[in-house]
Structure 1
């Protein structure tokens, strides 16, 4: 059996920016002294005149991006999720969100899969922070194919967009001819009848692994990929909840305010039922190898399968 191809979505981000840059000369890329890590250095090499290194000044970078957008440019601001959603939150809210400017935020190194950088850099709150900003679109792609499609869709979309990318190389699961990306539309990755597992980002591939393990115990798990946290695909969530009557959400983020909360809001208003939220439970991360951390926090296939079985017993 051939080994599954793995690519970090931050790499996909940098590569797609170059492809878009070839076609659109109004695309600018801003970075806060992290071009190598965020992979925007690829764009800098190809289009040095349209790359702006703002230094370690994330808040200023958001202001510069707002200025560029007000002049008809389409800027992509790039830095770690901790700095984009955390350090620069006020500027994102007031300088970009409030005037609803056409700025795209490429936030890399999100979640505990940042690994050895530890709790200070493992942003587990960014989806919640960005989701609450009025008019902000929030996207968390699952793999290389989806990340590239999301970057292109963000460019074509009018309004502020937050894009979440990871440091860890993850399996490519959408490399097929019928794949189609649309902002605000999730899709069923795998059909099932006993439980619906709704996942986002790198947890989609982990959920697929969990489904394979659950199948060995006679449990048919449906996997739904919700790449757009806001606006969320309400119709699909309600449909799949009605189908199985059991819903589990999985995210590499706090269970507070992210995918799990968004799904619960949809179901509470339209099809109330108990939901099991899998993620990080009201705590900070810690330093360690990414794969080992995902295992410890039960965010790999094995951990997800274990928690799903416990939920189904109840």
Structure 2
């Protein structure tokens, strides 16, 4: 099935003209940083070669979620539903009922805000193997509140049976895709697309669904991070070393179910504890971590580095990341401030 209309980059289905800014396809990679092109698309193709039940769907956003790579390789296993997110997930649910393994891509804002009820009752309640792939999570576009999914994890964390993955880089994505396909229930992947940084290959790290991993040790500060903020946590830890501050980094790519055992083991110390996430301070990694601390009776303070509980500005990503405290320099400055 092929749509007869297309959604311009940045448009929201309202008939607005195509925008000419590069904010939609901007990269959060630092200049000169090693990147990998379209890791999700290539990982999905690789998984589909091994498993003929994998199919791909999108809501007129194949090119902007790297799903077009799968479509080119397996056109007979690809469905374009057009600008209809509720139909996208309803169709994916029907496919899963027949034994197929759908990966359905759109922007995170459209999945979380427009199609929540369809995902909840058609996919999550019957625990179907549908993999929701959400592009532009958090502050990865400069297009403003219509496209910045700053509250997507808060929305989805309350949905029973749904696994939520917030990958750091191309390494996480490449390893996550086949594991998501093998997972029996529904999943939500916060997609990093285009030229995605490759960071975790420099560490003794392997992605495991549902597990957090300690990437580096430190004696003064412990970072608990997810998504692209693990990259920033590692960079900030290196920068803080020049200030004689030793920082440990714990990467938690699975937000739900949350690996409280690993995280609490690292937090049960007298080190400064900080969470870092590309998401609102409300309802994401910080609150998952804080809840685990309270349940365990650790009785210690956790400081969040996160986006504010607000609608954010539009603009260039480097400017916005600095404005809202996600840049490496801002993370370093905040830690030095906390240490006094």
Q: TM-score, structure 1 length as denominator?
A: 0.94
Q: 2:35 aligned with 1:6, yes or no?
A: yes
User: C-alpha root-mean-square deviation of aligned residues, in Å?
Assistant: 1.6
Give the superposition deviation at 1:216.
Answer: 1.8
Are 1:180 and 2:206 an aligned pair?
yes
Residue 4 of structure 1: CA displacement?
Answer: 3.0
Alignment map for 1:15-34 (pairs within 5 Å): 15-34=42-61
1:202 to 228, 233, 255: 228
Q: CA separation of 1:215/1:280 partners in 2, compared to 1, >3 Å: closer, same or farther? A: same
1:191 Cα deviation from its structure 2 partner: 0.7
SS at match of 1:158: coil
2:304 to 274, 277, 282: 277
- Partner Cα distance (2:237, 2:41) in 1: 31
**Which blocks of at least 5 consecutive residues in structure 1 are unaligned?**
none
Cα deviation per residue 1:51-102 (whole Å; 9 max; x = unaligned)?
0001000011111111111110000110011111111111111111111111
Q: 1:63 is matched with which residue: 90, 95, 119?
A: 90
SS of aligned partner of 1:208 = helix
Aligned to 2:259: 233
| Structure-1 separation of matches of 2:269 and 2:277 | 22
Partner of 1:161: 187
CA distance in 2 between counterparts of 1:92 and 1:22 reads 27
User: Partners in 2 of 1:133 and 1:162 — Cα distance?
Assistant: 11
- Structure 2: unaligned runs, 5 residues or longer: 1-30
Contact 1:210 1:304 in 2 (8 A): yes
TM-score (norm 2): 0.87
Deviation (angstroms), 1:309? 2.1
Q: Is the 8 A contact 1:113 1:293 kept in 2?
A: no
Tell me the residue number matched to 1:286.
Answer: 313
How many residues align? The count is 309
Cα deviation digits, residues 270-292 of structure 1 (max 9, x gap): 12211101111111122111122
Does 1:147 pair with 2:173? yes
Measured in 1, the distance between the counterparts of 2:194 and 2:314 equals 14
1:291-310 counterparts in 2 under 5 A? 291-310=318-337
- In the alignment, what sits opposite 2:78? 51
Instruction: Find the residue that maps to 1:114 and give its secondary structure.
Output: coil
Q: State the alpha-carbon separation in 1 of the partners of residues 118 and 214 from structure 2.
A: 36
Which residue in the other structure is 1:85 paired with?
112
1:131 Cα offset (Å): 1.2
CA distance in 2, matches of 1:7, 1:106: 18
Higher helix proportion: 1
SS for the counterpart of 2:129 is coil
Residue 236 of structure 1 deviates from its aligned partner by 1.1
In 2, Cα distance between equivalents of 1:53 and 1:97: 22
